Structure 1
Amino acid sequence: MAASVIITVAQDGTGNYVTVQEAIDAVPLGNNRRTVIRVAPGIYKQPVYVPKTKNFITLAGLRPEDTVLTWHNTATQIDHHQGARLIGTGTFGCGSVIVEGEEFIAENITFENSAPQGSGQAVAIRVTADRCAFYNCRFLGWQDTLYLHYGKQYLRDCYIEGSVDFIFGNSTALLEHCHIHCKSAGYVTAQSRKSSQETTGYVFLRCVITGVGGTSYAYLGRPWGPFGRVVYAYTYMDACIKHVGWDNWGKTENERSACFYEYRCYGPGSCPSKRVAWARELIDEEAEQFLMHRFIDPDSQRPWLAQRMALRIPYSA
């Protein structure tokens, strides 16, 4: 990798660019070196698109509370500077931020969809890209907040809030030390693995799930795809999580194929004895594959997290 490039964005005109999209547009097509876009504090009200032709982009703020990328699109009403032929339509095309360039990193940034409760599907960010990482970011919305659609993603020390299916898609994702907040009745995850041969799935490792004070109003997940795979390990669950834990999306046949697992979780919402019979607690040997970074970084000869994301040596739980 060549030396990285640093460019700045500031709404007051003191940076290289005034908007985040202008900075992304300035990245060369076929970019092959890390380009760090330092975003000054501010609320940036504009949809953002990172195309497939622009890899190795980092968005970096100082504090996620101070640097907010926000827009208000919904699945039924999309206002975007790119056409539907490029970004898609419906839920797929409504993300406030859409990332299709690989090796994307964000740190200390808030991604928000500001559409109000009851607006239906309203994505804060869609990630359709391999080898992406998010550090100390916030993802704000209601329904379908975080669309981890495709590829491998790592999220650490992030905050994710929503109501219905607010972490969803068919990527392979590890969420470590993250705070998951259930704002109203609904489902934390809707993972859409379509066959037992796919290696996709979501792992929540040492996370915290909180609610708004009510009890037993949120499910841990439901299978958007029949083989949906979600694992919660060493995770605290407060009383907002229903004792049954999981929902079959109205299809009893999903109970035979969905892979919904828990491992050494705790808190008032962790009730192994009351969970649905078709979800289960993993034993130590089964859990091991989900407790290490190799779940999303399996090639020890060509690791992407340790080398390119500047992490320390991965460690197991």
Structure 2
Amino acid sequence: MVYSYFFFALVALNLVHSTLATQRNSPPTGSITVGPSGTYKTISAAVAAASKGASIFIYAGTYNEAVYITVDNLKIYGQTDDTSSYKSNTVIISSNGAMATKGNDDASGTLRVHANSFAMYNMKIVNTYGTGDGVGSQALALSAYGTEQGFYGCSFVGYQDTVLTDTGTQYFGHSYIEGAVDFIFGQTAKTYIKSSVIASVAAGTITASGSLSTGEGIYVIDSCTIKAADDAKSALTQEVYLGRPWTQYAQAVFKDCSLSDIINPAGWEKWSTSEPNTADVLFAEYGNTGAGSTISQRASFSTMLTSSSVAKYSISAILGSGYTAWVDSNYS
């Protein structure tokens, strides 16, 4: 009887999950389509054909190409059985560009978005250069330049410099970002990452803010899980830092996050011994939990926010009071 009870309870739970999960296995009306049964066989070809306000639907598959987007107000949808998360994504864009071969960080990106009012759903973006062995140079999965860019239920996988948000405003919701060295970085962008997983594959630093002046660019990481990637080569215990300052005006805030034991007790580190860049940084924390959240040994140049001071780093304070007009509330 007990066995039967738990069996039927499990079945009921699975039915509830299936009911709540929303599939996207067919293109929204009017969308440009990509894939074996689509109008275009490559994503780049679909992007080239798209005009402002268009939407692109991509059927399941791995697309080995680098994609460059310059058209504003574009939406891209990947086929999935569960739109609420990155875990069921079936569309992968993969390339292996690196700064060493392409000439600069941006040019190495698997996906380069130089456009405003952009939204992407349920896509996996991978830069394979250096992943697994750590050999090589900066190699971006995503290079983002533009205002009001949203990434929902997406995953970004690389090693060094996985995600660049360099200008404008970006929101990442219910997403996954993996790397090892400075793998969330940029200069003047205001970037908000919410309810996502940030995973380290090797020892290193998560953020590298390069703000050019006081109060310019910032990363706010809110209600995220910080952990070792499933394919990390070791447990990484105390081998990962929340960030280091690319410039002396670096800004990064982790609030209400779950920090695993991969986080070093110092939390934050200097850029280098010869160039610490700590004079004017804002490296702040609030309300974090987990084995890596203990603050007793935090770096002297870091800040612990209070219940009143943390309000300065709310989503409306970072992205602007009009953020609700472009951030998809289903991914908050």
TM-score tier after normalising by the smaller chain length: 0.7 to 0.9
Q: Does structure 1 conserve the Cα–Cα contact (< 8 Å) formed by 2:245 and 2:278? A: no
Question: CA offsets per residue over residues 72-103 of structure 1, 9 Å max, x none?
Answer: 0001113xxxxxxxxxx321211011100111
Change (3 A) 1:163 1:216: same
Structure 2 residue 252 is matched with structure 1 residue 234: no
The residue number in structure 2 matching 1:125 is: 142
User: Residue 27 of structure 1 aligns with which residue?
Assistant: 50
Residue 239 of structure 2 aligns to which amino acid in structure 1? Answer: Y
TM-score (normalised: structure 1): 0.86
CA 1:126–1:283 in structure 2 vs 1: closer, same or farther (change >3 Å)? Answer: same
Kept after mapping to 2: 8 A contact 1:306/1:312: no
What residue is the counterpart of 1:77 in the other structure?
101
2:126 equivalent to 1:101:
no
Structure 2 residue aligned with 1:15, among 10, 31, 38? 38
Instruction: Provide the rounded CA distance (Å) in 2 between the counterparts of 1:27 and 1:101.
Output: 13
- Structure 1 stretch 171-180 or stretch 59-68: which is displaced more? 59-68
State yes or no: 1:285 paired with 2:302. no
TM-score by length of 2: 0.83
Shift of 1:284: 1.3
Q: 1:174 to 1:197 in 2, by over 3 A?
A: closer
Question: Shift of the alpha carbon at 1:312?
Answer: 6.6
Q: Assess if the C-alpha contact under 8 Å between 2:215 and 2:249 holds in 1.
A: no
Contact (CA 8 Å) 2:203, 2:236: kept in 1 or not? no
Deviation of 1:118 (Å): 1.3
Residue type matched to 1:182 in 2? S
- What CA distance in whole angstroms lies between the structure 2 residues aligned with 1:16 and 1:106? 19
Which shows bigger deviation, 206-215 or 36-45? 206-215
Distance 1:49 1:77 in 2: 17
Query: CA distance change for structure 1 residues 241 and 18 in 2, over 3 Å: closer, same or farther?
Result: same
Mapped partners of 1:106, 1:274: distance in 2:
39
Q: Render the CA deviation track for 1:20-72: whole Å, top value 9, x for unaligned.
A: 111110023xx2x2x11001000000110002xx1011111123531001100
Change in 2 beyond 3 A, CA 1:279/1:132: same
What amino acid is the match of 1:115?
A: Y
Query: Which of 216, 222, 246 lines up with 2:244 in the alignment?
Result: 222
Looking at structure 1, the residues matched to 317 and 31 of structure 2 have their Cα atoms a distance apart, in angstroms, of 31
Deviation, structure 1 residue 308: 3.5
Distance 1:264 1:197, change over 3 A: closer
Q: Greater CA radius of gyration, 1 or 2?
A: 2
| Map of 1:48 onto structure 2 | 67
Q: CA deviation at 1:169?
A: 0.3
Q: Does 1:273 align with 2:273?
A: no
User: Would you say the 8 A contact 1:154–1:296 is kept in 2?
Assistant: no
Q: Shift of the alpha carbon at 1:277?
A: 1.1
Report % sequence identity. 27
Query: Root-mean-square deviation (CA), in Å?
Result: 1.9
Structure-2 separation of matches of 1:97 and 1:204? 22
Matched, 1:112 2:130: no
2:152–2:331 contact (8 Å) kept in structure 1: no
1:68 touches 1:112 (CA, 8 Å); kept in 2? yes
Q: Decide whether aligned partners of structure 1 residues 313 and 163 sit closer, same or farther in structure 2, where only a CA change above 3 A counts.
A: closer
Residue 21 of structure 1 aligns to a residue in which SS? helix
AA matched with 1:49? Y
Show the counterpart of 1:62.
Answer: 79
Q: Which runs of 5+ in 1 are unaligned?
A: 79-88
Q: Which runs of 5+ in 2 are unaligned?
A: 1-28, 81-85
The separation in 1 between residues aligned to 2:305 and 2:318, in whole angstroms, is: 19
Please give the alpha-carbon distance, in whole angstroms, between the structure 2 residues aligned to 1:313 and 1:208. 15
Give, as a single letter, the amino acid of the residue that structure 1 aligns with 2:240: A
Indicate whether 1:248 and 2:270 are aligned: yes
- CA distance, structure 2, for counterparts of residue 246 and residue 73 of structure 1: 29
Number of residue pairs the alignment of both structures matches = 288
Alpha-carbon distance between aligned partners in 2 of 1:98 and 1:244, rounded to the nearest angstrom: 34
Q: What is the alpha-carbon distance in structure 1 between the residues aligned to residue 202 and residue 331 of structure 2? A: 38
